[in-house]
Amino acid sequence: MEEVLFSDELRGRIVDLEYGKLTEEEIKRIYFEETGKELTADIELYHASDYGQKLDIGKNGFDGTIIHFFDEDKGVNQVYSIARGSEMKEEENWRPEDWMYNTFGIFVGQNNGQYRDAQRFEQEITQIINKQTEKSDIDLMKIGLGHSLGGNTKQMQQLINQEFDRVYTINAAQPTVYQLAYTDREFRKELEKNFGLNPWNFSDIYTVDPEALVQFTEQYYKDAGNDIYRLVAEEDMMLAVSQNIRGFITVGHGEPIDTMADFAGIGDILGEIPDKDIQAIQTYMAKYASNYNNEGFDGAVAAMTGIDLKLIDKVMENDGFWDHVKDAPQIISEGIPMLQNMSKKIPELLTHLSVIHKNLDPILSAMVKHGYVNQDQKAAILDAVDGIEKDLQDIVEAINKALEPNLTTIGDVIDIINAYKTIKEKWNSITSHLDTIQMSLSDLMKALANSVEGHSIYNLLEALAADKGKAYKGKDLFMTVTSKGQKVKINLSSAVRIYTAGMAIYDEKEEVLGRLKTDYETSYLQDFENRKAKLLEKITDMEVNYSKYQYLLGSFTYDAYQKYVLTGINVHEDIPPLAENFKAAFEHMFHYYEQEIQQGREAMAKIKKTIEDYFKFDEELAGKIEAG
């Protein structure tokens, strides 16, 4: 059975919709733009956000949509399961949940929340679809789609559960040995057996030679990954990470595509970082995995630094000395434990930041070698980093001073407030140093921007379209056609939007016209006939039951009733029909709008036929080339 979304372009554009407006109408629009044919299968959409409460999913940042295409006559029963990729900020939440998950869930490997949520959502919707199609003889085909972090999630589902018939990823974050070992218990047992790992200490895995781990893991999951197809740009930052940072595996099929001829990516820089230093950072971060798993982003930051951001904000918002006095019990009872915690945590954090500092000179030398910075910029960066370390040390000293006994409650409060002020002052200094670093790394920032651009779906699609007479600008599809010997570039997406919007307008006009006709027939024609029928019914009643209408002759004395008796009623009715000019006015108006709608639909049909003819010509031309 041919896949409904049979091309990289179709799959890529549908996956991109997951970041914005994924609707049945948008799916059909993109399908028509890419194929020149209408998608006639029934489409049902299942959004993970609608199942958050029922399935208890989404708290780790997971989101996605499952699309079900069904057409009994054409033998179509296909599911496309899309997991959304990383986003810098979540809706209504400033915290970079997805990128924190990238750190703890992939690099450290000790969180499987997104995989777990995706699998739970998958099983729920598959049951619903199977029940809806239980009378059909068509087997259900399941396909996984994902970009970035979403691609990582789909690969995890496939490697561990063989959930799909096929998986297609776009610039995906590759799985790591560590996240697979954390999630797949059977695989973990094999690692323990082959590498002598301590089953009670997961961090033991970070001490094993990463190349040996990767080789073993790729062999272990080779068959499970055989139906994974990777679409990736050479310049993608996630590719650079997976090629130069420990623990990432590569399974399935797909070679990197060059999407930016003048940019080679940032892998050469990442490759300068020694593995032992990456291991040190990985081991350090692993210590806080449980805090992240239990308390999320805030819990991890608090555990790593000891900072209670809410308390600091509250204290610094106080207006003057007497507000501090009023809050003295809370400042002392909560502030001192926090500062004590910070006095331990920040030096530990400084120790691991020094790993990066230690490697700065060779890394910056590599940047100089590759043309990302010059010697003056390198010196400025090193000076700024020295300044940041000095500021952090000053913060630690201020905290230690605040923790010295003052022997007075107010004195303790003042010392704590002064520590907060020092923290704020030094933070402003750190920010200034960071600005210096940013200015000195302007060329590198451009490279990173290019790497981020290389990570986008449409950057890859643009590269794929280059040899097909197609191009993507923004999210619009352009086709190149030859007219009178000249090449003309047509915005096909714009044409489809005109057709779709136009047909929607004429559908609405037709619906309004139908309501007007109904109102006309009800309020005038039918009402006239109803009134006429009631009148004739009354006339018939008067003629048949004339005695009931004796009172119409007036009032008489009792003896006069014997003389003045109603003996019959005979009505001579003359009910003229509705005036012809009255009906003609409405019918003329209806006819005018019917013609206008018909002409509009014909104009839209010409646009549609032009698109269909282009694809027909393209297919015929391709056939001639193949035959020749």
Do the beta carbons of residue 146 and residue 170 sit within 8 Å? Answer: yes
Q: Say if strands 476-483 and 486-491 run parallel, antiparallel, or are unpaired.
A: antiparallel
Q: What is the pLDDT of residue 378?
A: 84
Which of 25-29, 145-149, 473-477, 584-588 is predicted least confidently? 473-477
pLDDT digits (tens, 9 = 90+) for 451-478: 444 446 766 676 666 666 677 776 777 7
pLDDT band, very low/low/confident/very high, at 221 (cuts 50, 70, 90)? very high
pLDDT digits (tens, 9 = 90+) for 522-571: 988 899 989 999 999 999 998 899 888 888 877 777 666 666 777 888 98
Q: What is the pLDDT of residue 608?
A: 75
pLDDT band, very low/low/confident/very high, at 240 (cuts 50, 70, 90)? confident
Give dist(CA 298, CA 309) in Å, integer: 9
Do the beta carbons of residue 460 and residue 233 sit within 8 Å? Answer: yes
Sign of torsion over alpha carbons 489, 493, 495, 498? negative
Q: What is the pLDDT of residue 169?
A: 93
Statement: residue 407 has pLDDT above 50 = no
Q: What is the pLDDT of residue 330?
A: 53
What value does the mean pLDDT take over residues 11-36?
88
Name the range with the highest mean pLDDT among 236-250, 310-324, 397-411.
236-250
Q: In this prediction, what percent of the chain has a pLDDT beyond 70?
A: 68
The residues pairing with 166 across neighbouring beta strands, listed in sequence order, are: 143
Average predicted confidence (pLDDT) for the chain? 78
Q: What is the pLDDT of residue 96?
A: 46
Statement: residue 264 has pLDDT above 90 = no
Give dist(CA 348, CA 340) in Å, integer: 13
Name the range with the highest mean pLDDT among 123-132, 364-373, 606-615.
123-132
Give dist(CA 36, CA 33) in Å, integer: 6
Statement: residue 520 has pLDDT above 70 = yes
Q: What is the pLDDT of residue 67?
A: 96
